[in-house]
Amino acid sequence: MGNVKKDELSDEFILTLPDKQKHVYLYMRDEYANLEEAGEKYDEAKNDELVENKAGEAFDISPEEAGNLYAQTESQWNMYMTKKASS
């Protein structure tokens, strides 16, 4: 599950992302949320593989690329929040 929650600040950040990255990230964030709502116990490897495969199919990219885009966005979010906190 990711660090970027649905709120005004995250919406502001997400709008700055390239389209592909934005759409893949939002899709994967929603899929992780769906697993959580369904009561799935968090098994990082299992859930990541499932969500990455679904995103790969949905966006016609490899699961690895989907996972990399998600991780890149999480990293960018952390940097964005650090910058916001220091300003």
Reported as a single tens digit per residue, the pLDDT across 10-58 is 888 889 999 999 999 999 999 998 888 887 666 778 899 999 999 999 9
Greater pLDDT, 83 or 58: 58
* The pLDDT value given to residue 17: 95
The distance of Cα 12 from the centroid of its chain, to the nearest Å, equals 15
Mean pLDDT, rounded, for 60-75 = 96
One-character DSSP codes across 46-57:
HHHHHHHHHHHH
pTM: 0.84
pLDDT at 1 over 60: no
Element (H, E) at 74: helix 63-86
Amino acid at the residue 86: S
Q: Is residue 2 left, alpha or beta, with left meaning phi > 0 and alpha meaning psi from -120 to 50?
A: beta
Helix (H, G, I), strand (E, B) or coil at 41: coil
Provide the residue ranges of all domains of the chain, joining segments of one domain with +: 8-86
